[in-house]
């Protein structure tokens, strides 16, 4: 007969079953406690990452807002800088060139047009732009 790791008599099935069940229960409870601790740490880290994501996005927006003021001085600026007006919202610039009027929106990084800017672009592309004179 071999040496058993369990201090039970050979053939005592009830004791073996109770030992097995209690071992499985202890392992299950231990695993659950470890999972709860790990899950709590993961949630804390996720909240911390969200805070950093917010700060990073805010920094990108601030950079973009600052950057757009210098765009008319770049060689790639599509309008006459002397005849350009900064609006900021909803479109950054309007350039009144000799032969055209240009609506100019500046984007940095991966930023996209807002829904309002997309609708303005669509109206311009469809030629739905008017000039109106008001007199009082």
Q: Which of the residue ranges 6-10, 45-49, 92-96, 122-126 would you say has the lowest mean pLDDT?
A: 6-10
15 in Cβ contact with 23 (< 8 Å): no
pLDDT at 123: 96
Over residues 87-132, the pLDDT tens digits come to 988 999 999 999 999 999 988 778 899 999 999 999 999 999 999 9
pLDDT at 104: 94
- What is the arithmetic mean of pLDDT over 24-30? 92
Whether this prediction's pTM lies above 0.75 is answered by: no
What dihedral do alpha carbons 42, 44, 49, 50 form, nearest 10°? 120
pLDDT at 64: 72
């Amino acid at each position: 007969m071999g040496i058993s790791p369990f201090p039970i008599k050979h053939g005592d099935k009830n004791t073996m079953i109770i030992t097995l069940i209690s071992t499985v229960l202890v392992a299950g409870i231990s695993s659950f406690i470890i999972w709860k601790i790990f899950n709590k740490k993961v949630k804390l880290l996720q909240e911390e990452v969200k805070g950093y994501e917010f700060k990073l996005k805010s920094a990108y927006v601030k950079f973009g807002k600052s950057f757009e003021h210098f765009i008319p001085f770049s060689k790639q600026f599509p309008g006459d800088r002397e005849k350009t007006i900064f609006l900021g919202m909803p479109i950054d610039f309007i350039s009144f060139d000799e032969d055209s009027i240009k609506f100019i929106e500046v984007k940095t990084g991966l930023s996209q047009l807002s829904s309002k800017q997309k609708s303005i672009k669509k109206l311009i592309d469809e030629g739905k732009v008017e000039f109106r004179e008001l007199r009082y």
